Amino acid sequence: MKGYDLQGPALELGALVREDGAADASERIRISLSMLNRHGLVAGATGTGKTKTLQLMAEQLSAQGVPVFLADVKGDLSGLASPGTASGRLTARAAEVGQSWRPAACPVEFLSLGGLGCGVPIRGTMTAFGPTLLAKVLGLNETQESSLGLIFYFADKNGMPLLDLKDLIAVIRYLTATPEALSGIGGLSATTAGVILRALTNFEAQGAEAFFGEPEFDVRDLLRVTGDGHGVVSVLELPAVQDRPQLFSTFLMWLLADLFHVLPEVGDVDRPKLVFFFDEAHLLFDGASKAFLRSITQTVRLIRSKGVGVFFVTQSPQDVPGDVLGQLGARVQHALRAFTPQDAKALKATVSTFPASSYDLERLLTGLGIGEAVVTVLSETGAPTPVAWTRLRAPETLMAPSSPEVVQRVIAASPLREKYGTALDRRSAYEILSAKLDAGTAAPSGPEAPREPDKERERRSVFENVLESKEFRSMARSAASALGREITRSIFGTARRTRR
C-alpha cells in the first residue's frame, strides 16, 4: 500500500485488511523508525487490544536498539521479560498476517514509584518536581499554585533543599509564622497556606512520601542499550498506586519534562533515542489549567528535537486536547463504542480527525475486532499515509504477566538496585529550620496558629539567624562542594541541578 512501502528500518504493525475482511499478508502496514519522534496516539475502548499493541511496538523497538519506557498500570506488561507461548490461535494469526513468529524476551528493567511495588524504587525531590506539577497533583487553583511557586522560590533563593514532603511543610509553616521573610516578593496568606498544607497532608496519607526524596532518579538511565544492541525496556509498575491516578499521571509528565530538560539537541535522527508510552493519558489532562496544557503542548512539540518519541495511550482521542493531538503524527485507533449519545458524538469527532479515505469510518471503528486497528502514520518523507484497516501482528513476548520468579530474578540482577535501592535523608530544609526554631522561638504548628505582635522582632531575628548561621553556611558550602551544581528550572518549573 502506498506510503507503507518503506526503505529504512521500521516497526511491523500488521497486514492490510481487504473489504471482505481477509488480511492481505503482502500489504504490510509499517511505521518508519525515523518518524517515531513525531509522536503518536494509541486509542481504543477497554478490551480492544491497546496493551498488546504497546507490547508489540515495545519488543520491536528493543530488538532494533531503541530503549522504551512503559507505564504498567494493570500489571499486564511484565510479560515482556518472558518469551511467548505458542498456541493454535496465535499460529493462525501469524500466518494470516505473514508473520514468522518466534518466542522472544526483552531486556527489561522493572521500576516502581518510591518502592510502592516490587521494582527498583525511583524517587524525585520536591525541588525537582517543582510547583507546577505539584499543584496539578494536589488539585490547587491558580492562586494557590502561584503561592506554591513563591514558596519554592524562597527555598531555592535561600539554599534550603526541598527534598521530601516534610521539607516543604516545614517551609510553609515557617513562612506563615514569619511573613516578613517574603517582603518585597509577595506574601503567603494563612488561608492559602492552610489549603496547601491540608492538600499535602492528604497526599502524604496516600503514601506519596515514599516517592519524594533521594537518591533522585536520573532519567538518562532510561536510555540504556545492552551489550548485544537491544534497547532496555523500562517498565514502571503502577498497580500499587492505580487508585491514585493523579500521582502517577503527573509523575509521568515529570519524567517527560526532565528528559526534555537534560537531553541534548540531536535534531532529526534515523531512530529515536527513546520511545515513551504515556498510558492513561486522559488523567493528565483532566482539570488541567490552560497554562498547564500550554506547557504540555510545548514539551511534546520540542522534545522531538531531543530524539524522544511520545505515544499517548487512552480510550478516546477526545481525551487528548486538540493542540496536543495536532502534534501526534501516528494514529493506531482500536475499536470505539457508541452506546450513548455522548459516545456517538465522540465517534463523529474522532472520524473527523482522520485523513479522507474510502472507508465508512463510523461503521468500521465500531466494528473492529480485537487486535485490529485503523492506522495512519507519517511516511519516510513526513507525509500522512492513507488510512489502513489493519490486522495486527502477535507479540513474541508473553501475552500475560511474567511469573513472580521471573520478575524477582530480573529485579535482583538490575544494575540500578545499588544506585537507587536505599533511601537517603540528608540535611535539608526541615532539619535546618527545626534546629534553629528549637534554639530560638518555635514556629506555630500550622497556618491558623495566632501570632503575637510582641514576637515580631524575635521571629525576624530567628529568620536572619537561620540564613546567617554557621550551620546554614556550612550546609550550603557542603552542598556546593559535593554537587558543584545550580538549580535551573524548565518549562514546567521542574528543576535539576546542573554541572557548572
Domain count, the chain: 2
Same domain? 208 vs 106 = no
> Would 133 be classed as within a structural domain?
no
- Measure CA 90 to chain center: 32
Count of Cβ atoms closer than 10 Å to residue 479 Cβ: 17
> Would 422 be classed as within a structural domain?
no
The pTM assigned to this predicted structure is 0.85
Which of 239-248, 322-331, 389-398 is modeled with the greatest confidence?
A: 389-398
- What are 6-41's pLDDT values in tens digits? 889 999 999 999 999 999 999 999 999 999 999 999
Same domain? 194 vs 247 = no
pLDDT-wise least confident of 97-106, 278-287, 307-316: 278-287
Asked if the model's pLDDT at residue 377 lies above 70, the reply is yes
Confidence grade of residue 238 (pLDDT, cut at 50, 70, 90): confident
Q: Does an H or E element contain 193, and which? A: helix 190-205
How many Å apart are CA 255 and CA 286, to the nearest integer?
19
> Would 134 be classed as within a structural domain?
no
Same domain? 153 vs 103 = no
Across 72-110, b (16+ Cβ under 10 Å) vs e yields bbebbbbbbbbebeeeeebeebbebbbbebeebbbbbbb
Same domain? 35 vs 78 = yes
How many Å apart are CA 96 and CA 14, to the nearest integer?
10
Same domain? 74 vs 148 = no
Same domain? 342 vs 475 = no
> Would 241 be classed as within a structural domain?
yes
> Would 206 be classed as within a structural domain?
yes
Count of Cβ atoms closer than 10 Å to residue 338 Cβ: 16
- What are 142-167's pLDDT values in tens digits? 889 999 999 999 998 888 999 999 99
Same domain? 303 vs 390 = yes
**How does DSSP classify residue 346?**
H
Same domain? 405 vs 278 = yes
How many Å apart are CA 112 and CA 356, to the nearest integer?
43
How many Å apart are CA 127 and CA 152, to the nearest integer?
7
Structural domain span for residue 282: 10-122+221-411
Asked if the model's pLDDT at residue 202 lies above 90, the reply is no
Same domain? 153 vs 42 = no
> Would 180 be classed as within a structural domain?
yes
Which of 58-62, 69-73, 141-145 is modeled with the greatest confidence?
A: 58-62
Q: What percent of the chain has pLDDT over 90?
A: 54
> Would 418 be classed as within a structural domain?
no
Confidence grade of residue 444 (pLDDT, cut at 50, 70, 90): very low
Q: 169 is written with which cell numbers?
A: 511543610
Same domain? 338 vs 390 = yes
Out of 386, 411, 436, a domain closes at: 411
Same domain? 208 vs 229 = no
Out of 384, 411, 438, a domain closes at: 411
How many Å apart are CA 377 and CA 390, to the nearest integer?
12
> Would 244 be classed as within a structural domain?
yes
| Confidence (pLDDT) at 490 | 67
Asked if the model's pLDDT at residue 376 lies above 90, the reply is yes
| Confidence (pLDDT) at 339 | 87
- Measure CA 171 to chain center: 27
Same domain? 320 vs 386 = yes
Asked if the model's pLDDT at residue 237 lies above 60, the reply is yes
How many Å apart are CA 167 and CA 289, to the nearest integer?
27
